[in-house]
Structure 1
């Protein structure tokens, strides 16, 4: 497989041993191309600007700027880049915060090569991936996997719907057509599996997306 056809990955972690370990692991994955490593959020942003990877694998617990804050920054500035969080933490709160800030994958650092492969493929294809090794009940894991993956624009529209804005008001606020707003609204109803706006808001709130 040519490098240009591979999934481009940037790894962000403040521990050199972790970076080397991930470099070695990714070298064994045929469809992955490690475009670079970064030891902090600022370095990561510069690397993203230079190379625009498909996926950023980032640690959560970093000094100065956390992985949670980095995820939010990537979501806003580089909406096409997918985010997979890595951590030794297994608490539900960290997972929820990363998902709320744009991550669509969560791996513990002890993950095997096979699990990293599955995470990269799942996230690249637009699906949410949660590590096998999380200290969550089966029902909690199913619930997390049910959380729809939303585009940046869909999240903006969802928030404005929740604020009570009409399609015309949303179109004006986002500088898009009413037809586009209506399309986003229909997509949101489909993704959440609901039939009306009230259920959409209630379900999104239950998932922690509002």
Structure 2
């Protein structure tokens, strides 16, 4: 069991103050929980985790400054021992898999009961992958491809994709890679075709779903 019932140092990250306050009030009543902080932005939470011992982070997916999956990856980089649990209203299988790929130890929907939330936290702290009951049903469904298979990318296309994600212009990419702007535009067009998308936002979303930007 979890370290002889040592109180769980918990941080909650949710961009809705009312939800945050409600969770803090609820969980502070449990002697097994020590709520260390509640944050409405990802960067505030990340800074706190860097400076304090945090056993569990309850992490919403939708945050104003960073996607929850990316924040999960960064938290695990600075504090590998911290358990991250997705805690969201989003029930898409792809989002759940994305968060797990970035180091999360489980995923719960926000309608979870307090007792089940506590059970999931203890399971995750004991090394298990923890899902709330509804998420278990989602993950147990017959696997239907969430995204179409994408043709393999060349090394150069992967470089261009990464630079697009970093917000570089065609000219900046050309200068950095010692290519002509025309060549960069060609690679960019090829990426759009391979992912079957029509704009950069859709390209980056599809690339992240494939784990190419983690």
Superposition TM-score tier, normalisation by shorter sequence: 0.5 to 0.7
Task: Give the TM-score, by structure 2 length.
Answer: 0.61
Which residue of 2 is the match for residue 21 of structure 1? 22
Residues 92/77 of structure 1: CA separation in 2 closer, same or farther (3 Å cut): same
Q: Distance in 2 between matches of 1:11 and 1:140?
A: 29
CA deviation after TM superposition for structure 1 residue 134, in Å? 2.7
Retained in 1: the 8 A contact 2:58–2:86? Answer: yes
Retained in 1: the 8 A contact 2:93–2:139? Answer: no
Retained in 1: the 8 A contact 2:57–2:84? Answer: yes
Deviations 1:133-159 (A, max 9, x none): 238357349x9xxxxxxxxxxxxxxxx
Q: Number of residues paired by the alignment?
A: 142
Deviations 1:172-207 (A, max 9, x none): xxxxxxxxxxxxxxxxxxxxxxxxxxxxxxxxxxxx
- 2:34 aligns to what SS in structure 1? strand
Which residue of 1 is the match for residue 48 of structure 2? 47
CA deviation after TM superposition for structure 1 residue 93, in Å? 0.5
Q: Distance in 2 between matches of 1:14 and 1:62?
A: 6
Structure 1 unaligned spans of 5+: 144-207
Which residue of 2 is the match for residue 10 of structure 1? 11
- 1:24 aligns to what SS in structure 2? helix
Structure 2 unaligned spans of 5+: 144-209
Q: Distance in 1 between matches of 2:9 and 2:134?
A: 25
Residues 81/138 of structure 1: CA separation in 2 closer, same or farther (3 Å cut): closer
CA deviation after TM superposition for structure 1 residue 34, in Å? 0.4
Which residue of 2 is the match for residue 72 of structure 1? 73
Task: Give the TM-score, by structure 1 length.
Answer: 0.62
- 1:133 aligns to what SS in structure 2? helix
Which residue of 1 is the match for residue 118 of structure 2? 117
Q: Is 1:107 paired with 2:108?
A: yes
CA deviation after TM superposition for structure 1 residue 116, in Å? 0.8
Deviations 1:51-73 (A, max 9, x none): 22001111011122011110010
Deviations 1:100-150 (A, max 9, x none): 001001111111111111111011111100111238357349x9xxxxxxx
Retained in 2: the 8 A contact 1:92–1:136? Answer: no
